[in-house]
Amino acid sequence: MIGYVTLGTNDLEKAASFYDQLLAEIGASRMMEMEKFIAWGTEPGAPMLAAIKPFNDEPATVGNGVMVSLYMTDTDKVDSLHKKALELGSQDEGAPGARGDGSFYGGYFRDLDGNKLCAFHISEPG
């Protein structure tokens, strides 16, 4: 259902470097690139994540309560992506671990512009 999600940035070059390195961890690369917009994905037609300079040329700001969650195929990938984000200068927003009934496993961080992301995996309850 979701085609792509955009995250505002005030420094597209810095955001591009961050996401090039971070998303390479999960096999994503640049799929689209324009003057104010870069989108990463894993294959054509699959959902993408994009960094964008706002269309109205106003400063990008972080939305309170807004979070982008990236599905991982297992908990090791959650751990790996969270670790990579912190190595790249992200702010930790919650170490990887089980939440709720234990079937949800997530790690939370903020990108270099302050946008909140979550790497997560859901397993069968039990």
DSSP assignment of 75-89 equals HHHHHHHHHHHHHTT
Give the range of the structural domain holding residue 107, as residue numbers without chain letter. Answer: 4-54+66-122
> What is the band of 20 on the pLDDT scale with cuts at 50, 70, 90?
very high
Helix, coil or strand: residue 101: coil
Q: Is the Cβ–Cβ distance between 70 and 119 less than 8 Å? A: yes
**Residue 61 covered by a domain:** no
DSSP assignment of 12-47 equals HHHHHHHHHHHHHTTT-EEEEEETTEEEEESSTTS-
Q: Is the pLDDT of residue 126 over 70?
A: no
Cα angle, residue 26 at apex, residues 36 and 14 outer, rounded to 5°: 30
pLDDT per residue over 58-74, tens digit each? 999 998 889 999 999 99
**Residue 26 covered by a domain:** yes
Domains identified in the chain, total number: 1
CATH of the domain at 9: 3.10.180.10
pTM equals 0.89
**Residue 88 covered by a domain:** yes
Q: What is the overall mean pLDDT for the chain?
A: 95
Q: Is the pLDDT of residue 14 over 80?
A: yes
